[in-house]
Amino acid sequence: MNQPVFNMVYNLFQRKKHHKALQLEVGPSPIDGRGVFAKTNFKPGQLIEEAPVIAMDNREKDLLRNCSLHSYYFLVNNPTTSIVMGLGYSSLYNHAGDANAVYSINLSDLTISIKACKRISAGEEITINYNGLPHDPSPVHFTGNY
């Protein structure tokens, strides 16, 4: 690995200590495929996970349109970064119109945070609303035309 790439990757993971969500597990989901489930109870406002993200521009977004990663990135309203790919479990949370968690992306720290917005019980699937707000009833489309 060349030095600039090594430095970028090193800095991505060293900027701050990322919250490793040991109280989570991935398993089969009744919503779709697999999902993220709580192994402990979470209170509203409690941090569930904080993970690094990889920021990408429109060119990289276009490359993902026809591959399996297309359904796993987050759109970002930024002139130079159009999407981020969340690491950790962050790209595995399923969508729900009435989600029990909310996400926020911090581009300056290159992190995504998932926080409970409702009480979540151990064994319950943790969901986010892909539209950004936890109770947004707008439909979600994965057509590649956005």
Which domains, from first to last, does the chain contain? Answer: 3-128 (2.170.270.10)
pLDDT tens per residue across span 53-94: 989 888 888 887 777 777 778 888 888 888 898 898 998 999
Alpha-carbon dihedral sign for residues 40, 45, 46, 52? positive
Burial of 90 (0-12, 13-18, 19+ CB in 10 A): buried
Q: Are 128 and 102 in contact (CB under 8 A)?
A: yes
Identify the pLDDT of residue 141. Answer: 65
Number of Cα atoms under 13 Å in the Cβ half of residue 44: 6
Identify the pLDDT of residue 146. Answer: 38
Burial of 120 (0-12, 13-18, 19+ CB in 10 A): buried
Lowest mean per-residue pLDDT among 11-20, 34-43, 84-93, 136-145: 11-20
pTM for the whole structure? 0.78
State percent of the chain over pLDDT 90. Answer: 47
Q: Return the higher-pLDDT residue of 6 and 132.
A: 132
Using DSSP, state whether 62 is helix, strand or coil: helix
pLDDT band per the 50, 70, 90 thresholds, residue 130: confident
